[in-house]
Amino acid sequence: MNYNFDEIIDRKGTDAVKLERCKALFGTEDVLPLWVADMDFRTPDFILDTIRKRLDHPILGYSVPPEGFNDAFVKWVRDHHRWPVSASQVGFVPGIVPALSFAVQCFSEPGDEVMIQPPVYYPFFNVIRNNNRVVVTNPLREAGGKFAMDFDDLESKITEKTRLFILCNPHNPGGKVWTPETLRRLDEICTRRNILVVSDEVHADMVLNGYRHTPYATVSDTAAKGSVTFMAPTKVFNMPGIVSSSYIIPDGALRARFAHFLEAAEMNTGNLFAYLTTVACYEQGEEWRVAMLEYVQGNIRYVIDYLAGHLPQIRPMEPEASFLLWLDCSALGMDTDTLHRFFALKAGLGLNKGTVFGEGGEYHLRLNVACPRAVLVRAMQQLSAAVAEL
């Protein structure tokens, strides 16, 4: 099928976060909103058709997962990530960020330390601090234009109170696809120091050409026994407003503990649209996913080439996964707050401020390129005009 990713869709009047919060974040509503990590592409028809079909029935009552719900996810994981999990090892969880919070609550106590690797997806900080745990940072370093883990720093930061390590795999905002070698080194340290790894793998299905996602739990038996993994169809198939995610926990004792936590919190079920659309994604979504990623990769190449040719002061980190570009704007000579305001008020572009991702985010912005190409062309033209006036 031919999919029209060039279609420009007006999202006004839909309560879209990326529009409704512009005034608060950027001081103006007159920006191209290129920040929140959802797509401005039409949600695939197989999802919308599934919802429409269910709405043909006049009762939206309590529902159980449809037959084959877990099986569809298990098959997807086996086919796409070479991970032979079983249906008994997986379960539903209502959203990736809530799942991270549940894991922090379930597997640690107030006052315990949880390690993360900034600059990283900012809710990682929230799920630790809001649950009265202590954030310990193991900052990523840049090597060859990509992020790399600093294992010496990691080991030096571990104490007797370090309980969890939250991994972003693939990484957000850098788009790094962690290699098996890197993940094995992480596993060796965390196993030796008895630290549970909680792996956020929501971007796993958006790995770009030439790269392959490696689930953390697949690199060794110890990684499988000492980890909790979260995945979801909502990011890759552009339905984040329908909250649906899954956990994979190979170790029986850990799985029972987490399942009991979810049951006790009454957070182990979803709504009927979450169930139905998830099955539709995993059974019908491959062709759309491949086409979307091809278009996104073209958008990434367009922005990288444009910046190199017209705005070399802005240095993008080329992603290996997802639709996010991490922009080093230090050569513009502005502090991060000034930079953020300049992009919004002078260039008319709403991007994520780098410092919300923690240490290493200074002088950086995050750009979402999952939009029609024409929007990016306009964005680059506006940015060029603004920089020319400096």
Q: What is the CATH number of the domain that holds 25?
A: 3.90.1150.10
Q: Which of the listed residues 238, 256, 283 is the one where a domain comes to its end?
A: 283
Give domain status of residue 219, yes or no: yes
**The pLDDT of residue 165:** 99
Residues 77 and 222 placed together within one structural domain of the fold: yes
* DSSP single-letter state for residue 108: -
Say if 251 falls within a structural domain. yes
Q: Which residue has the tokens 């996010």?
A: 324
Residue 292 belongs to a domain: yes
Q: Are residues 214 and 270 in the same domain?
A: yes
- Write out the DSSP string of 138-201: ---EEETTEEE--HHHHHHH--TTEEEEEEESS-TTT-----HHHHHHHHHHHHHTT-EEEEE-
Sheet with strand 134-137: strands edge to edge = 90-93, 245-248, 227-231, 196-200, 162-168, 113-116, 134-137
Which CATH number belongs to the domain containing residue 154 in this structure? 3.40.640.10
Q: Which of 248, 283, 318 is at the close of a domain? A: 283
What was the pLDDT predicted at 1?
81
Residue 367 placed within a domain = yes
Q: How far is CA 364 from the centre of its chain?
A: 18
- 157 and 248 fall within a common domain: yes
The pLDDT assigned to 312 comes to 98
What is the pTM (predicted TM-score) of this model?
0.97
Torsion angles phi and psi, residue 237, rounded to 5: -105, 15
Q: Largest Cα–Cα distance in the chain?
A: 61
Same domain, yes or no: 74 and 207:
yes
Count of C-beta atoms within a 10 Å radius of residue 72: 18
- Residue 279: which of 255, 244, 330, 230 has the closest Cα? 244
Helix (H) or strand (E) run with residue 245 in it: strand 245-248
Are 66 and 108 in the same domain? Answer: yes
Query: Among the three residues 283, 299, 325, which one is the final residue of a domain in this structure?
Result: 283
Q: Does 52 map to a domain?
A: no
Count how many domains the chain has. 2
The whole-number pLDDT of residue 171 equals 98
Range of the domain at 95: 61-283
Say yes or no: 365 and 273 in one domain. Answer: no
Q: Are residues 357 and 225 in the same domain?
A: no
In a domain, residue 109? The reply is: yes
Low-confidence stretches of the chain (pLDDT beneath 50): none
Is 146 in the same domain as 174? yes
Same domain, 185 and 155: yes
Do 297 and 309 reside in the same domain of the chain?
Answer: yes
Q: Are residues 98 and 21 in the same domain?
A: no
Mark whether 204 and 156 lie in a shared domain: yes
Look at residue 220 and tell me if it is in a domain. Answer: yes
Whether residue 34 lies inside any domain: the answer is: yes
